[in-house]
Structure 1
């Protein structure tokens, strides 16, 4: 009788554990929001914009050469941001003007630049939302 009780306890723990995992981590079993699973390469190409290469002065006596890839959540948002490219360029220049060469050094510097541009463009964009901003070219001299 003791082995049967032990077996039932083990089965109960496994069933409850699986149920808890399913409840809290839906993606662990392949369930959940499709958007959270990621976009295909084709979707990323269709919903992203590359900025021109932008060269501008920094707050120190240096300059930066940058380019960004901006991923949006819809075709409407992409069309709007393409029409607002001068505003995007101005946002990049104004953000970089506040950075020094030392502030842009390393992963943390690039991450801060991406975050600041994301925040600034998020305010500009009226239709749709930004998904991410990536630095695709980066030189500081």
Structure 2
């Protein structure tokens, strides 16, 4: 009777241990898939990005700016839509820059401000997908 009870306890303990190990493996595998899905490769980024040609416009005040962007979208469909909307993106950029002074665009914070503003405004225009990130590829203020 004692041996039978010990055998049953060992079977239950091994079963619980196996279920725990299987649960941990499943959890770690799901985390790996989520991490891979969050970070696209550089090829995927380039494939879903659109170059916005250089724009020259006046800033608020007597200065002017020459600036160009690369806009990263979340899919190829969004890229295709954005390519058709380049004229609207140019309009958004010119409108936003015309309200800014050169001092507001200086430094890292100023560049992030214009990138975030363009991203928000362009996302409001988009119907297929969305803009993930806006990069300034060149900028000169005079």
Instruction: Give the TM interval when normalised to the shorter protein.
Output: 0.7 to 0.9
The aligned residue for residue 120 of structure 2 is: 119
Quick check: which has more Rg, 1 or 2?
2
Distance in 2 between the 1:134 and 1:47 partners? 13
The aligned residue for residue 137 of structure 2 is: 136
SS state at 2:34 partner: coil
State how 1:21-100 maps to structure 2 within 5 Å: 30-36=32-38, 38-100=39-101
Superposed CA offset, 1:26-84 (max 9, x none): 75xx3524331x11121111100010000000011100010011000111111111011
Q: Between Structure 1 and Structure 2, how many residues are aligned?
A: 117
Q: Which ranges of structure 2 fall in alignment gaps of 5 or more residues?
A: 1-23
Instruction: Please report the TM-score for the alignment, with normalisation by the length of structure 1.
Output: 0.77
Distance in 2 between the 1:62 and 1:139 partners? 10
Write 1 or 2 for the structure with the bigger share of helix.
2
The aligned residue for residue 5 of structure 2 is: none
Cα drift, residue 137 of structure 1: 0.6
The aligned residue for residue 6 of structure 1 is: none
